[in-house]
Structure 1
Amino acid sequence: MKNMTMKKKALRFTKWTFFAFITIFIFKGCIPTKLAMPAIQPRATTRYWELPTGSKIAYTHLAGQGVKKPYPIIYLHGGPGGYVYTKNIETLGALSAFGYDVYLYDQVGCGLSERLDKVKEYTAVRHQQDLEEIIKVLGVEKVILVGQSWGGALAVLYAADNPSKVDKIVFTCPGSIKPVNEALEKVKAPDSLGLKEPYSPNAKVLPIVLNPRYVSIGMWARFFGVKLASDKEADGYLTKMAFVFTKGLVCDSTRALKEEGGAGGYCNLNTSVSYGDLKDPRIKLKDNKIPVLVMKGQCDYISWGYTKEYLDLFSNSKLTLIPNSGHQIFAEQPELYAAEIRRFLAH
């Protein structure tokens, strides 16, 4: 009888402790926070497109010099929730010297582009629709897509529905094709590639991810489509994380790019939720002949199986391994990065 009483008391204590913890967690989640994070500023080159989709998109255009190439280059940045770094403009802008018009734009909800009022509108389909409208605005027959990380998956979505509009694609450390085939996570890379594991920042990012306020922001956004926090606050949390996780995007953590404050918090939170609703683009790309270059950094954190899927899906593809670089090849090997792209486009 005594043991039974002690068990009841222990159970009651556990229940009330848990209740108190949840109450405190919810309370903290409702308190706005002020994050001293940088805010990205417009550049002298910043221009805007106002698209029929309702998106106001910030972009930089570097005009091709000399004899113009027929098709422009469009850069698709990573994320979702990433943005165009100044380093991207400097690196890919070098290709304009060879006649290519180069366009780099911040996806809606990111960088210098406008934030959407409704969280649920941040979807992979919306990003694809924006890209389709941008290409219509340019009025060109075809485009060359350069997709970084998630930007690679976005390029696949576009190419699947608009194969005749794509001249060539450069995938740089592409993220998994959406919807994700998780079985590819287990595919091991050949030893001959000499891939290296990058620094893992997960332990240092986790306290930010589990912050009661950020957890609450994510839950309200994903389950109810409601902005519990302002765009500035949501962007600030993603920027705070970026200061940590970007050290895992390079081979040498001391060469991680400095954050410019362009992270798109709500874009990041909801776009990934939409992946499961996508129609599989692989079916439409069967037997396609689009020329493709897949570039992988030696220390890229993306599992080899996901990289290999691009090589298998695009039969007219080649792989280029960039030594001493991580997920952000342009950060550590900018000259080699641009040179490999130029070499591919010239053939």
Structure 2
Amino acid sequence: MKRKILRILKWTFLLLLCIFFFRACIPSKQDTPSIKPRLSTKYWDLKTGSRIAYTFIEGKGNKKPYPIIYLHGGPGGYVHSKVIEVLGRLSEEGFDVYLYDQIGGGLSARLDNVNEYTATRHQKDLEAIVALLKAEKVILVGQSWGGALATLFTADNPGKVDKIILTCPGAVKPVIDSVEKLKAPASLNLKDPLDVNGSVISFLLKPRYIAIRVWALLGKKIASDEEADSYLNKMAEKFTKGLVYDSSKILPEEGGGGGYCNIKTPTSYSKLEDPRPKLINNNIPVLILKGQYDNIPWGNTNEYKDIFKNSQLKIIEKAGHDIYIEKPDEYLQAMQLFLTQPS
């Protein structure tokens, strides 16, 4: 009887395995609309080989000497129209504002070789953009992963940075795992965001998506960029509910996710040269904005305070990781106040 049960279990397992591989090999239906160019969309062809889409909003009135460059989250994220609407208002203070989609995401080009999606590639692209603008210095606004990218850039180019604004920055790369275990002071009254892990994990376990990720990690594309992007955009509809205080206020996704960029870039973090030693003596003014319901562990936020000694922290109440969605005015006012302070 026992042998019979084992035989049934073996054949059941083999059948399920066959079903898994069958489903993994069938391209999925791409029913998620892809992001479309805006009237404001322009392109840079960088010396790195990257074709980068961007929006430029010219400063008004008394022009400030240094432009603002916005670095979105991800990797594999993009510049949402709401970000352009909100940050575009900084142009009223005289700042030229540039918002660009990093390579592999949004309206920017996709790379044929997935192994080229690395944090270093993103940094080199940013360096090429700064050189192209011919600005003496720039002001960086880094959201989530964009905060880590801003830090990598600054470590190698401290003389090119006037000020930095970090909005709910992700962990400094390469990551120090022990850092995020630090508990936040009770006085900050930080709260946990909506837990969306269940719906995200169930999505990650889809056979086709597992196959796409595994082959991408091996350096191969078994799916088109459109299909890989479609999976990330579908998943974003689930995890973005945890990026706000009130999930009913989440904005519709615009279809700009970069699937392969999102899968491959994080694998490069451990190979990065540690930027921390290069920033020990820096005195760059830094504003750190954190939503009360931000999903980034306090320890990761606190590390930016340790790295950038000339920094200030502001907690935005009743806001999540994407502060600009729920508290756009408070978000903008904090930036305006910081930017108008003497360096």
* TM-score relative to the length of structure 2: 0.97
**Residue 23 (structure 2) pairs with residue 19 (structure 1):** no
Q: Which of 222, 228, 234 is equivalent to 1:228?
A: 222
Name the CA distance, whole Å, in 1 between partners of 2:334 and 2:303.
21
Question: Which residue of 2 is the match for residue 211 of structure 1?
Answer: 206
Equivalent residue letter for 1:301: N
Residues paired across the two proteins, number: 341
Aligned-pair identity (%): 60
State the match for 2:293 in structure 1: 299
Question: Which runs of 5 or more residues in structure 2 are unaligned?
Answer: none
Supply the distance in 1 between the matched residues of 2:21 and 2:297 (Cα, whole angstroms).
36
User: What's the offset of the Cα at 1:8?
Assistant: 4.3
Corresponding residue SS for 2:253: coil
Shift of 1:85: 0.4
Q: Which moved more, 1:51-60 or 1:35-44?
A: 35-44
Moved more, 32-41 or 152-161: 32-41
Per-residue deviation, 1:97: 0.5
Match of 1:29 in 2: 24
CA shift, 1:28, in A, is: 0.9
State the match for 1:329 in structure 2. 323
The partner residue of 1:250 within 217, 241, 244 is: 244
Q: Pick one of 35, 50, 61 that aligns with 1:40.
A: 35
2:44 is aligned to 49
Aligned-residue offset at 1:324: 1.1
Deviation of residue 11 (structure 1)?
Answer: 4.0
Q: Trace 1:47-86 onto structure 2 (pairs within 5 A).
A: 47-86=42-81
Distance in 1 separating the partners of 2:24 and 2:257: 21
CA offset digits 1:96-130 (Å, max 9, x no partner): 01100000000001000011111111100000000
Whole-angstrom CA distance in 2 between matches of 1:146 and 1:214: 32
CA distance in 2, matches of 1:15, 1:222: 30
Q: Which amino acid aligns with 1:171?
A: L
Q: CA-to-partner distance for each residue in 1:137-172, whole Å, 9 max, x for gaps?
A: 000010000000000000010001001001010000
The alpha carbon displacement at 1:286 in A equals: 1.1
Matched, 1:342 2:341: no
Q: Does 1:195 pair with 2:201?
A: no
- Other-structure match for 1:237: 231
Output the CA distance in 2 between the equivalents of 1:341 and 1:185: 26
Residue 170 of structure 1 is matched in structure 2 by 165
Equivalent residue for 1:280?
274
Unaligned runs of 5+ in 1: 1-5
Post-superposition offset of 1:9: 4.2
Equivalent position SS for 2:237: helix
